[in-house]
Structure 1
Amino acid sequence: MSTQQPPMPQAHAAAPEWQAAPGGPYPGYTSPIPVVRAHLGHAVASEWTKIKSVRSTMWTLGVFVALVIGIGLLTGALIQANSDSETLSGENPLSFGVFGLLLGSVCVITLGVMTTASEYGTGMIRTTMTACPSRVRVLTAKAVVFFGLAFVVTLVASAFVAMVQASMLSGTGARTPSGGDWFKATVGVSLYLALLGLFSLLIGSVIRHSAGAITIMIGVVLAPLVLALFMVTESLNKLREWLFEYSIPNQMGVFYSNSLGDSGPSGWDSLWIMLGLTAAAYAAACVLLNSRDV
């Protein structure tokens, strides 16, 4: 008769190292995934991934570059072929690049609005805010990414047009641009246009509707000039001059030493005006973002 031996006691398996966390928020458990406190850099990386993966970004910036370079070179060629040394005597050859930037500004405005307003239209903003509950951080990350992208693209396109136009018009009597002329016609106008796009982004965050925000921004660019054209009475002379001088197209022309009036913005005034408007829009967007539902 065989006797059954009692089972030998089994030693408990040692707990994995990642489960030994007596001092953590969940006693006895520590995630194997490193936990890192989220910061603005993470939000910027997320927004950069989003803006570069959307087709509309490439199409909008592609059209912008085509307009700036195409119209800039065409304008330079026409002026070279139809002007003489007396007509262009003393003129800044870089100033003709403003025409392409004026039309290209519509693309920058559209992209700025779409960067924020499109997420409200698709509902993607809920996912964004869930991943990053700090709404101001999300808006700041969008602003940083968009401003940097718009500035770099505008700088490359405007600098290329400026170099080609200076070469084309060098023998037509136009003056040689100074270092200040080059800086304002490239870096200065690029900063201004990037701020204009950033202002559009913030308006899109306030309005939360793509078509409405784009319409408002196009009105901001064109309405002062259109209204001024119909102010033909003498009593409206001062208002008409003010609208001409402080319109967006004229403020861009200031970077090329071209202005529609004598008492309007000059030097770097246009940049400070747009910077002030953008700061006010950013403050309003932050307040509304925190006070409204997503």
Structure 2
Amino acid sequence: MSTPQPPTPQAAPDWHAAPGSPYPVYTSPIPVVRAGLRHAVASEWTKMRSLRSTMWTLGVFVLLVVGIGLLTGAVVASSSTDVATSNPLEQGFFGVLLGSIAVITLGVLTTSSEYGSGMIRTTMVACPSRSRVLAAKSIVFFLVAFVVTLVSSACVAVVHAALLEGQTSGPTGEQWFKATVGVALYVALLGLLSLAVGSLVRHSAGAITLMIGAVLAPLVVALFMFSKSLENVQQALFEYSIPNQLSIFYSNSLSDSGPSGLDPLWIMLGVTAVALGAAFALLEKRDV
């Protein structure tokens, strides 16, 4: 039987006098690690996954995208309408459009909720670099929104392709890409735009109202423009409204002109970059 060994003595704190001072200075034996973006990202990921609002909002998003997508696919598959020339994945548009409201809400809450509760002060004390905090929030949110949207839209696309297999020609590679990866990137960028607006406005209800208005108002206003002198304005509102740009990924645009292909993705990327740039600039100038 081996004789138990005595515990290894821990290193004693290093007390020494600073040059020119008679008082000792304490040096901790615990190594000090300089915080960086990786630590800020880990902190924001912990906050996001531990909040009930995140789980509820993402749950509603998945329910809308998958539930409405499967419902519309089942209705089209059971109807006698000839859909042989249409994109078999286009029925996923309705669920993604409604689900985008949930992503907008989560994007706004990612930044504005901390201002409402006052926790932003604690966050900025823990990480004095304000731009690093906003960058970490943006990275974590974008990745979460992209992955959840990609998985949800891909599930709906697979089911639609199976349901309509006998009624339509199989979807092309471009249609698969646009209905899954393209849609996921667009929705994630839309949520990131909401995050930037939440940082600018710093008020949850106000920022959510602004974003929902930006999504729905152009299309609603265009529907009530009956004057011939406003035809060009009406056409522009139709073409560049977010519902129409989202529908382009499913090959069922509301107009025959305007953005096509992956153009909506580049438009949303540019708008989001401008909004994020403004959010970074104002964050450094305003009080917390």
Specify the TM-score bucket, using the shorter chain as the normaliser: over 0.9
Question: Is residue 2:142 matched to residue 1:161?
Answer: no
Report the Cα distance in structure 2 between the residues aligned to 1:261 and 1:130, rounded to whole angstroms.
50
Report the Cα distance in structure 2 between the residues aligned to 1:50 and 1:117, rounded to whole angstroms.
14
Question: Hey, what does 1:257 align to over in structure 2?
Answer: 251
Question: Is residue 2:77 matched to residue 1:77?
Answer: no
Deviation at 1:19, TM superposition (A): 3.5
Deviation at 1:232, TM superposition (A): 0.4
1:1-294 correspondence to structure 2 within 5 Å? 16=12, 18-19=14-15, 28-84=25-81, 87-172=82-167, 174-294=168-288
What letter is aligned with 2:272?
Answer: T
Question: Hey, what does 2:5 align to over in structure 1?
Answer: none
Q: Which has the larger radius of gyration?
A: 1
Deviation at 1:262, TM superposition (A): 2.1
Report the Cα distance in structure 1 between the residues aligned to 2:150 and 2:133, rounded to whole angstroms.
26
Report the Cα distance in structure 1 between the residues aligned to 2:17 and 2:77, rounded to whole angstroms.
76
Deviation at 1:20, TM superposition (A): 5.7
What letter is aligned with 1:75?
Answer: T
Report the Cα distance in structure 1 between the residues aligned to 2:283 and 2:24, rounded to whole angstroms.
37
TM-score by length of 1: 0.90
Deviation at 1:97, TM superposition (A): 0.2
Report the Cα distance in structure 2 between the residues aligned to 1:280 and 1:21, rounded to whole angstroms.
53
Q: Secondary structure at the match of 1:29?
A: strand
Deviation at 1:28, TM superposition (A): 4.4
Report the Cα distance in structure 2 between the residues aligned to 1:159 and 1:106, rounded to whole angstroms.
19
How many residue pairs end up in the alignment? 275
Q: Is the 8 A contact 1:150 1:197 kept in 2?
A: yes
Q: Secondary structure at the match of 1:83?
A: coil
Deviation at 1:22, TM superposition (A): 6.8
Gaps of 5+ in 2: 1-10
What letter is aligned with 1:103?
Answer: L
Report the Cα distance in structure 1 between the residues aligned to 2:47 and 2:281, rounded to whole angstroms.
24
Report the Cα distance in structure 2 between the residues aligned to 1:175 and 1:183, rounded to whole angstroms.
16
TM-score by length of 2: 0.92
Report the Cα distance in structure 2 between the residues aligned to 1:110 and 1:266, rounded to whole angstroms.
27
What letter is aligned with 1:76?
Answer: G
Gaps of 5+ in 1: 1-14
Q: Go from structure 1 to structure 2 and tell me whether the alpha carbon gap of 1:167 and 1:27 turns closer, same or farther (over 3 Å shift).
A: farther
Q: Is the 8 A contact 1:21 1:30 kept in 2?
A: no
Cα deviations across residues 12-39 of structure 1 (Å, max 9, x unaligned)? xxx936446979xx97432122111110
Report the Cα distance in structure 2 between the residues aligned to 1:270 and 1:102, rounded to whole angstroms.
14
Report the Cα distance in structure 1 between the residues aligned to 2:73 and 2:25, rounded to whole angstroms.
73
Calculate percent identity across the aligned residue pairs.
68
Report the Cα distance in structure 1 between the residues aligned to 2:116 and 2:30, rounded to whole angstroms.
34
Report the Cα distance in structure 1 between the residues aligned to 2:54 and 2:264, rounded to whole angstroms.
27
